[in-house]
Amino acid sequence: MSKKVTLVLGASNKPGRYSKMALELLEKKGKKTIAIGLVEASVGNIKIHQKLPEDVKTVHTVSLYIRASLQEQYQDLIFQLNPKRVIFNPGTSNLKLQEKLREVGIEVLSACTLVMLQTNQY
């Protein structure tokens, strides 16, 4: 498994949800993944937590699956983790947060985690 940790914010185990598809593909590709969602559940071997587990100290990538109006409650967490990059998946664009992330040197991508994984750009 890769040593780089991906945090999926807005994770769901509901069929048809893109965050669920992303969790499945991240696991299939062997990416170490942590998931946070509204409801505790599992997708494959990935447990969806309601908050970040205490033993998680470093995250390489944050993949967002929550709309801009809900991102504010996670901003402090994202900045504390200081990831290398944050992926704003379709429907999650937030220019204000993207600007703040860039200001502190975090790479911002307006992209699709699923496409990135399927085209080996992840």
- pLDDT for 1 equals 43
Q: Tokens representing 65?
A: 């699956």
Structure confidence at residue 121 (pLDDT): 93
Domain count, the chain: 1
The mean per-residue pLDDT over the stretch 13-23 comes to 97
DSSP state of 3: S
Q: What is the pLDDT of residue 48?
A: 98
- Average pLDDT estimate for 8-22: 97
Read off the CATH number of the domain in which 113 is found: 3.40.50.720
- Per-residue pLDDT of 85-121, as tens digits, reads 999 999 999 999 999 999 999 999 999 999 999 999 9
Tell me what pLDDT residue 57 has. Answer: 87
What pLDDT was estimated at residue 3?
Answer: 78
Distance of CA 25 to the CA centre of its chain: 13
Query: Are 3 and 30 in contact, with CB atoms under 8 Å apart?
Result: no
What domain range is 46 assigned to? 5-118
pLDDT bracket for residue 84 (50, 70, 90): very high
The pLDDT mean for the chain works out to 96
- pLDDT for 59 beyond 50: yes
Digit-coded pLDDT (tens) for 66-76 = 999 999 999 99
- Comparing CA positions, the residue from 50, 96, 54, 60 lying closest to residue 75 is 96
CA 89 – CA 47 distance, rounded (Å): 21
